[in-house]
Amino acid sequence: MKKLILGLFTFFILQSQCLTADYSNLKQPDEFTCAPTSSLNLIKNICKTCEAPSLNYMKKLQKTDENGTTAFNLCYGLEKYFKTQNKHSDIRYFGIKKVKIYKHSNNFDLLSISNPLNKNYGAILNIGVYTQNSKGEYVRQWGHYVNLISINDKFIEIIDPYNKNSYIDKLQYQTSKDIKLINKKDNEKYIKADKYYVIKTPLNYLQKNETAIINGVITIKLN
C-alpha cells in the first residue's frame, strides 16, 4: 500500500511539473524588450504550429523602442502576427489603462479572468512599478510585462522575462481600495479603479522604495 501511495504521489507531482515544464522561458536581452519577449513565450506556448518569429520582428510589429511598448501596440502587434499565420486571435485587455479597440474597465477583477494555462489560451500580465511621494500617493516610474500562468485568490504564477535566475515565480498579492495611483510619467491614459492589486512578494530587481502594482492583463485566445 505504501508503495502504491508513493507511486501515485510521484505521478501527480510529475504530471503537475509537465504542465509548466514545456512553457517557453525566453529572457529579454535588455531593459526594454519585455513585451516582445513575453509575446514570443506566449506564441511558443499556445501555437505549436506557428512559425516562431524573431525578437527583432516582434519589436518591429509592436513598435518597441527604448521607452518600451504600449499596451495597445503589444495587443495590435500580436494580432498582426497571428494573421500572418492564418490564425484568428481574440485579444482582450482587462485593466486600468485606456487601450483603444481592446476592452478596459474600472471594475477590473483579476479573479474573473480564467486560468490561462489552457490549450490555445494565454495571458500577459502588465505590471506598473511605483514609488510613494510625501502625500502617500503611488507615482508610476516604469512598467513591465510578464507571462501569466495561473491565478487564485492569493497568488499568481508568472514567467518573468527579466528574472534570469527563475522559471516559475509564485507571487502573493493583496487587494487594496485605499491607494491613489499617479500615472503621469506614462504616455498611456488610465482610469481610476475601484480596487488595485498590490504584489507583496519582493521582486529581486526592484529598489526598496518601489512597489509593483498590477495594471492589467492581456488575454489571447486562438480560435
pLDDT confidence bin for 6, thresholds 50/70/90: very low
Q: What angle do CA 33, 35, 38 make, to 5 degrees?
A: 105
Its pTM stands at 0.88
pLDDT for 180-193, tens place per residue? 999 987 888 898 88
Q: Alpha-carbon dihedral of residues 78, 80, 81, 86, nearest 10 degrees? A: 120
pLDDT at 150: 92
pLDDT for 57-105, tens place per residue? 999 999 999 999 999 999 999 999 999 999 999 999 999 998 887 766 6
Query: Greater confidence, 3 or 31?
Result: 31
Task: Identify the CA nearest to 213 among candidates 204, 200, 67.
Answer: 200
Could you tell me the CA-to-CA distances from 221 to 43, 72, 105, 170, 187 in Å, in that order? 11, 17, 20, 23, 27
pLDDT for 92-144, tens place per residue? 999 999 888 776 667 889 988 876 766 678 999 999 999 999 999 999 999 99
DSSP H or E run through 157: strand 155-159
pLDDT at 119: 67
Q: Which residues of 136-166 are buried (b: 16+ CB within 10 A; e: fewer)?
A: eebebbebbbbbbbbbeeeebbbbbbbbeee
pLDDT at 223: 84
**Cα–Cα distance between 161 and 213 in angstroms, integer?**
17
